[in-house]
Amino acid sequence: MSTLSNAAIRDIETVIHPYTNLDAFRKTGPLILDRGEGIRVWDTDGNDYIEGMAGLWCTALGYSEQELIDAATEQMGQLPFTHVFSGKTHEKAAELAERIKAIAPHDASKVLFCGSGSEANDQQIKLVWYYNNARGKPEKKKIISRIRGYHGVTVASASLTGLPANHADFDLPLDGILHADCPHYYRYAEPGETEDEFTTRLANNLDEMIQREGPDTIAAFIAEPIMGAGGVVIPPEDYFAKIHAVLDKYDIYVIADEVICGFGRTGNMFGSETFGLKPDSISVAKALSSAYVPIGAVTVGDDMYEAMLEQSKKIGTFGHGFTYTAHPLAAAVACKTLEIYEKRNIVERVRGLSPTFEKRVAALADHPLVGNSRAKGLIGAVELVADKGSKRAFDASQGVGVAAMNNAQKHGLIVRAMGGDIVAFCPPLIIDDAQINEMFDKFERGLDDTEAWVAQEGLR
């Protein structure tokens, strides 16, 4: 630690960093970022980086967007805080709810706000339980998520998350949370199985799970249109159609987790529209405010709202909410964010950029380290393997994905390594064609460095 700066040592001794090997971190220290502009950020040594992950899949409008800064400044000067408990409100709460309802991929009646995607999905579980109690179906409480799905880190939302590291030694998942198959054709298809056969098998497995558990006990199914932190898993074309055919038979509420895919990322306003997912409710956060201020939300349909009314009348209150529900600062910034998406036609912008982005991701499949590459809109990933023909993965302890991430960073690009040596790309939606090419040029140089290191260390 003696070679680290004073600022790095202060950080090590005071801050707990999520999704970090805390022991190794004490030796390496942090990358301390100092400022951002557009698609780039700068560290305290003056080095600049393309933010190839839009932060954490979230800073859709890039850094230092003046209209968002002005919206925040104005709101702070007018009404920096009030709550929405006990019938109190403020103008931006209703404006934001109206804007979300107008673009939601289902018939939304109301919006329930919170502070993050984890809280949004936690709320989804509570509301589904509340709903089925109101309907006189107290046994209909189990929630089906999916292996490799990511839905948050609260006790309930981390239970929905289908990643082992999120459960290990946290005593998760909670009872009543089930995990169906992951629709990752490259990794989980059986030998010789076509995509159509693969998706049919997954739908049949889901049906069998529901039958085994008892259809009257299954309350909801939750899915990301594209699995984000689980490895940018893009489902086969007809996957959700087959899944819906199963769910529709059993009166199962469908929740779309749009925390990553929402607000233009996949070339439609919501990923549900891109992949034929037909939700009864959506969870949103991240790009809702371009991540400038924490905020999340859940949409509520008429049936759910009627149940909430009945329960509220019976109990005497709707006993849920956060101090920061519809926080006026967050709501003001989110309203301006959605206004910008509309006036700058962000969906058409993504559609125009996606051919360049998808072409560059596809070209990475030719690299000796890449077993699979995949992209949709402005989100993509590569899966690094020890042997392309057999799809044999590197041993997790070798850290090949992390090495690729770190090597890209040395060339001025921030990307994210995830389990299975998957490296993800998710740049701000304000990126242009030239910047996309610059981003992938940097990544290719880092990938070549990683290939040389793999050979030098004999990791194959």
Q: Are residues 153 and 210 in the same domain?
A: yes
Q: What is the pLDDT of residue 382?
A: 98
In a domain, 24, yes or no: no
In a domain, 149, yes or no: yes
Is the bond preceding residue 173 a cis peptide, omega within 30 degrees? yes
My answer on whether 264 and 364 are in the same domain is no
Averaged confidence pLDDT in the chain: 97
Output the CA–CA distances (angstroms, integers) from residue 371 to 356, 408, 420, 421, in the order listed. Answer: 21, 18, 11, 10
Same domain for 238 and 272, yes or no, is yes
- Identify the band that residue 111 occupies on the pLDDT scale cut at 50, 70 and 90: very high
My answer on whether 373 and 307 are in the same domain is: no
Of 387, 388, 385, residue with least CA distance to 421: 385
With a pLDDT cut of 70, the percent of the chain lying above it is: 100
Which of the listed residues 322, 343, 364 is the one where a domain comes to its end? 343
pLDDT digits (tens, 9 = 90+) for 376-429: 999 999 999 999 999 999 999 999 999 999 999 999 999 999 999 999 999 999
Asked, for residue 283, whether it belongs to a domain, the answer is yes
Specify the number of domains making up the chain: 2
User: Which of 324, 343, 362 is a domain's end point?
Assistant: 343
Residue 34 has pLDDT above 80, yes or no: yes
Structural domain includes residue 413: yes
pTM (2 d.p.)? 0.96
pLDDT digits (tens, 9 = 90+) for 199-241: 999 999 999 999 999 999 999 999 999 999 999 999 999 999 9
Structural domain includes residue 361: yes
Q: Which domain holds residue 247?
A: 67-343
CA distance 13 to 444: 35
Residues 294 and 407 in one domain: no
Task: Say if residue 50 is in the same domain as residue 119.
Answer: no
Find the mean pLDDT for residues 238-261: 98
236 and 369: one domain? Answer: no
Q: Pick from 406, 435, 408: which is nearest to 24 by CA?
A: 406
Nearest to 221 by CA among 234, 235, 195, 240: 240
Do 83 and 43 sit in the same domain of this protein? Answer: no
Q: 25 in a domain, yes or no? A: no
The string of pLDDT tens digits covering residues 121-144 is: 999 999 999 999 999 999 999 999
**pLDDT at position 1, please?**
47
CATH of the domain at 451: 3.90.1150.10
Residue 183, domain CATH: 3.40.640.10
pLDDT grade for 460, boundaries at 50, 70 and 90: confident
State whether 130 and 260 are in the same domain: yes
User: Does residue 173 share a domain with residue 56?
Assistant: no
pLDDT at 2: 55
Q: Do 36 and 99 have their domain in common?
A: no
Which of 315, 343, 371 is the C-terminal boundary of a domain? 343
150 in a structural domain: yes
The reply to whether 325 and 351 lie within a common domain is no
